[in-house]
Structure 1
Amino acid sequence: MDSVADPGLAAWLQEIRRSEGPAPSLEQIQRLRGPRPRAAGPGLAEVKDLVVPGSVPVRARLYRSSAAAQHLTVFVHGGGFVFGGLASHDRLCRRLALLGGTAVLAVDYRLAPEHPAPAAVDDVAAVLDWAAGGLQGRVPAELGQLLPGVGLAGDSSGGLIAFLAARRLAAASARPDLLFLAYPNADLTLSLPSIRQKGEGWGLSARDLAYYISLWVPDASPGTLAGLSPVHGFTLPGSGMPVPAIVATAEHDPLRDEGKLLAERLAAAGADVEYVPHAGLVHGFLTLDAVSPAARRAGDALLGQYGVSLRRVADGGV
């Protein structure tokens, strides 16, 4: 085995490799959507569920570590476009609120195959637009006190959905002030070397991911997939000065190369980019804090770094 960050992560990988099963299916997706025991996250001043109004109402969950005015982060969970939700990322959102010093609004967007693309992007864009109204003085009472400036964060498939929502809102008042993309899907064609190098036995199966993508994008022609992939001829989110971004990757992740390439292309297009690679870690390390001390330390540092960057950018810093 290539070197991994700590024994806890090595044991987790061994269990993953022992339990790798048959090809993915709709039945498997339903099982993955089911409830399961999860380690509790830190306590906060406020955690509440709400519904963002619109032509398609969107469920969301608000996390606040303080009643004082804070910047807002809209969070988009991962899960291969087909599973995941408020429960799967509850602990991560609590950590983000606490360590990043930000109010967090987690979006329970619609999932494939019932709701293929662009439904998830529609939902995230609608939540951003609603929250931005509050940042312009029309504060939705549900959100509490907010400071000007909003970040948009997503992990894995949520990173891609967040990027596409930011691109859609590039010329709108609802555009985010900072993107935080953790090990994002950025190449739906799955064509970069790390897909082949790390595509089996490292916690994220390239075979399974290809199936999930086919459910999210039923018209999976090369042109359609490339058009939804930020690393292939993307349009940079932001009009005038591009939206700054933090892009994090992990060494043993099939998506490592596309995340790195996305950071490079954003920087080449003029965005202020903080690229943060993580040696010895795997895809999804932000939600592996309960099994790996190294993943927890890396996640804590990354979430804190994001909070500092959001405050700097929202306050007009470089």
Structure 2
Amino acid sequence: MRPAQTDELADPELTAFVEAARAPGPSVRELGAAAVRRAQRERVMARPRGPELAEVSDRDAAGVPVRVYRPGSVRRGTVVYAHGGMWTIGDLDSHDRVCRRLAATTGATVVAVDYRRAPEHPWPAAVDDVLTAITWASEDGDAGGGPLVVMGDSAGGHLVALACLRLRDAGGPMPGAQVLVCPNTDLTLSLPSTRTLATGWGLDVDDVAWGVEGWVPDPGMRARPDVSPLFAQVGGLPRAVVVTAEYDPLRDEGDAYAARLVEAGVPVTHRREPGMVHGFLTLDTVSPAAAAAGERVFADVAALMESPVV
């Protein structure tokens, strides 16, 4: 069930986008992964590429494909980025514009991870790949250098959170900070916003459930702390920026994870973007308000790069 009104969204352009998305049509469950991926590629091809940078190159990170974005010769740090897409869609091209904007705005080298996707590669393949890319970026001086931040949106935020938990438990070097934007943290999809915002806000909960089913086919696993970080012990993790959106069905689980981190003594910057929807980082060409929300996230990352804690 969903509220019928969209007049509290952040700007008229975002309102028009959400209302258009409410038009009847097949769900991702009905379409299947291959068709949804094709449709996403078509949308990406129609979108402006983003800022020109000094270097953009596809690399091999110990067996994991990555794309490295360098804004210039001065290295201000490295951001390892995991894209969203319900663990099933999304790739280096779907978030190329986001990564270009991130690198241009922060001055950081960005390493985007082309992790393996469900349903072909279920849990924990994507976490393994993100971990490999983080280790590669931290050890390969040519990859980036400087302070290391790990970042992801939606399912990518979820993968980054799990990667940080695994790095902590392994007792190895940790990133200086984690940045989670509209993250999945509870794969049981049990918090209130998954019901109050279930359909009609650009991301339907059944679409997320479809992605969960492909990535973690066994329902009995979904509340495990190595699958849903909301159920993990989170002490000892890197400082965090957690940004959620008011009209996102994943809002409550992102807010709850930020609260858990605070309770565990982890330094946290937490912001719920008012009038915003899920996936706003990729909506900058649609909505000026979404573009501004994205710039605030990039400013958060830039501030982390300047912090002596990172």
2:282 is aligned to 287
The 10-residue stretch of structure 1 (73-82 or 173-182) with the greater mean CA deviation from structure 2: 173-182
Q: Which stretches in structure 1 are left out of the alignment for 5+ residues?
A: none
Give the Å deviation of 1:159: 0.5
Residue 33 (str. 1) matches residue 37 (str. 2):
yes
Counterpart of 1:180? 179
Residues 245 and 273, structure 2, Cα contact 8 Å, conserved in 1? yes
> What count of residue pairs does the alignment treat as equivalent?
298
Q: Are the equivalent residues in 1 in contact too, given 2:188–2:222 (CA < 8 A)?
A: no
| Residue-by-residue CA offset, 1:118-158 (whole Å, 9 max, x unaligned) | 00000011111112213xxxx2x3x25x22x2000000000
Asked if residue 6 in structure 1 is aligned to residue 1 in structure 2, the reply is no
1:18 counterpart (15, 18, 23): 23
Identity %: 42
1:307 aligns with 2:302: yes
Aligned to 2:309: 316
Distance 1:46 1:273 in 2: 32
Residue segments in structure 2 that go unaligned for 5+ positions in a row: none
User: What is the CA-CA distance between 1:22 and the residue it aligns to?
Assistant: 4.1
Corresponding residue number in structure 2 for 1:92:
98
Q: Distance in 1 between matches of 2:95 and 2:24?
A: 23
Q: 1:266 to 1:198 in 2, by over 3 A?
A: same
What's the secondary structure of 1:111's corresponding residue? Answer: coil
* Contact 1:168 1:237 (C-alpha < 8 Å) held by counterparts: no
Letter in 2 for 1:271: V
Partner of 1:206: 205
Of residues 62, 68, 74, the one that matches 2:68 is 62
Q: If the length of structure 2 is used for normalisation, what is the TM-score? A: 0.92
The worse-fitting range, judged by mean Cα deviation, of 278-287 and 93-102 is 93-102
Kept in 2, the 8 Å contact 1:110–1:123? The answer is: yes
| Counterpart residue type for residue 57 of structure 2 | K
Q: CA deviation at 1:231?
A: 1.6
1:270 and 2:265 matched? yes
Question: Does 2:90 align with 1:81?
Answer: no
User: What displacement does 1:104 show?
Assistant: 0.3
TM-score, scaled to structure 1:
0.90
SS of the residue aligned with 1:305?
A: helix
CA distance in 2, matches of 1:212, 1:276: 26
Whole-angstrom distance in 1 between the partners of 2:243 and 2:60: 30
**Residues of 2 paired with 1:33 and 1:22: CA distance?**
13
Which of 244, 261, 265 is equivalent to 2:239? 244
CA deviations over 1:97-117 (Å, ceiling 9, x no partner):
111221100000000000000
**CA–CA distance in structure 1, aligned partners of residues 110 and 233 of structure 2:** 27
Q: What's the offset of the Cα at 1:23?
A: 6.0
In structure 2, give the amino acid aligned to 1:152: V
- 3-state DSSP of counterpart to 2:32: helix
Tell which deviates more after alignment, 16-25 or 90-99: 16-25
- Are the aligned partners of 2:234 and 2:260 in contact in 1 as well (CA < 8 Å)? no
Deviation at 1:19, TM superposition (A): 4.1
